[in-house]
Amino acid sequence: MNFINIIRKKSKKNKLSKQEIDYIIKNVVMGKIPDYLITAWLMTFYINGCNLDEAYFLTLAMWKYSKKIDLTKLKIKQPIIDKHSTGGVGDKVTLILLPIIASLGISVAKLSGKGLGFTGGTIDKLQSIGCQTEWSQKQMVALLKKNNIFVASQTNDIVPADKILYNLRDLTGTVDNYGLIASSILAKKFAILGTHVYLDVKYGSGAFCQTYQQAKQLVRYLKYIGKKMQRKLTIIISSMQQPLGKAIGNLIEVKEAIDFLSGNTNSYSDIKELIYQFAIKILVETEKISYSDAKEKINFAIKSKKALHKFYLWIKDQKGIDLSKKNLPFNPKYKLLVKSNKSGYLNLKSTAQIGNICRDLGGGRIKKEDKIDFQAGIHLMKKNGDYVKVGEVIAVLYSSKKINDDIKKEFLDNIVIKI
């Protein structure tokens, strides 16, 4: 078998076999294939499609060439919950949902990713508060036993193929492909095996699936692979038609997550709705309690600050800042107010563009070696459907570097205001 022949085969729209995909992933993991050939191959999938079987073979190979940790066979309190989103703008659900669930005594263990394309990544957000994100099996188990929660990234042992492909997809515009997304997510979910996997499939202008129909198509891929690998998945489809909450960025999203966990939930109706939807589902399914009892438990976790303290402990245990003692270091050097030049009802044209603006402020990567500016971000003062007066502030942009007026123009060009 030969890598170039496989690229040629797929570029002519022929389906790849299980053996060919296995060969690709094996050699990628062994470091035998240069990045330019891997991206050429990714591009053939991106352009010519990756069918259900190819996506399954890809998941299988990424899982096969990974260290596998079956948490259900270790002495860890069950159930063990994992939750993953297909990616969005301002999506800080993991930072909020996981400590709520963990504070109720349920184990949560999860592999996450960095920012991908225009979307943010949990790993970057954790790193913004000093967390270590690569952990060995022994360390993961120790974290779970101590504090019943961890979130880690792929490593050179744990789903190394996804670590390599994920980075390259991010930098080469080959993210939004059903097979590549489904295999990337599920290889991670099956490598670190808990008892329950919850997936949040996003659709809208801030997601990789632009429409509800596309999200259903991605669900089809996820279910197909889940069935082939004999794993149950619980999937929710949710809207990413506008950023989730008001903050987009790294430290600024952590700040919003802390504000929510501190009890200020009513300021973020969209986050609240999604958090309760997931948390109730998890509690009803795993604790066998009623909907209203589940809701009461979640209210209690937030009101009593148990969830907030669990968040602080989680971050501290992952070697991050002790936020129970120190303030969040969100102190951007530059800020710029974006004011409306009209009165009327506001709507964003594209949520992905908000993610791109955040990246241009320094909050994301364009090249592989780019370092993220954790201070960079956007605070939305107005959301879709809000009335805005001329001269009123729509958003505040933050960065460690001087923010030029082009970025402000990009922001204003991305909104429509109708009377």
Catalytic residue positions, numbered: 84, 162, 169, 184, 188
Shortest reach from residue 43's CB to ligand URA, in Å: 15
184 in contact with ligand URA (CB under 6 A): yes
Do residues 100 and 307 touch, judged by C-beta distance below 8 A?
Answer: yes
d(CA 332, CA 375): 5
- Residue 75 burial class via C-beta count within 10 angstroms: exposed 0-12, middle 13-18, buried 19 and up: exposed
Spatial CB neighbours of 247, under 8 Å, sequence gap ≥ 6:
90, 92, 253, 255, 256, 377, 378, 379, 380
Instruction: Give the whole-angstrom CA distance, residue 403 versus residue 362.
Output: 10
Question: What's the rounded Cα separation, in Å, for the pair 142 and 1?
Answer: 42
Shorter beta-carbon distance to ligand URA: residue 191 or 283: 191
Q: Which of 185, 219, 257, 261 binds ligand URA (CB under 6 A)?
A: 185
Tell me how far apart the alpha carbons of residues 38 and 144 are, in angstroms, rounded to a whole number.
Answer: 35
Residues 187-206: x/- map of binding to ligand URA (CB under 6 A)? -x------------------
Nearer residue to ligand URA within complex by CB, 148 or 153 = 153
Helix 178-191 vs helix 160-172: crossing angle, to nearest 10: 150
Q: DSSP characters for 57-78?
A: HHHHHHHHTS--EEGGGSS-PS
> What minimum distance in Å lies between the beta carbon of 93 and ligand URA?
13
* Stretch 80-119 residues interacting with ligand URA (CB under 6 A): 86-87, 113, 116
Query: Is residue 181 near ligand URA by the rule CB under 6 A?
Result: yes
Of residues 55 and 271, the one with the C-beta less far from ligand URA: 55
User: Does position 38 bind ligand URA by CB under 6 A?
Assistant: no
Binding mask 137-176 for ligand URA (x = CB under 6 A): ----------------------------------------
Least Å distance, CB 165 to ligand URA, is: 9
E-only strand ranges, 142-258:
149-153, 192-193, 196-203, 233-239, 247-249
Rounded least distance, CB 116 to ligand URA, Å:
5
DSSP-assigned letter for residue 265: G
Stretch that binds ligand URA, among 177-185, 191-199, 295-303, 343-351 (CB under 6 A): 177-185
**Site residues (vs ligand URA, CB under 6 A):** 86-87, 113, 116, 180-181, 184-185, 188
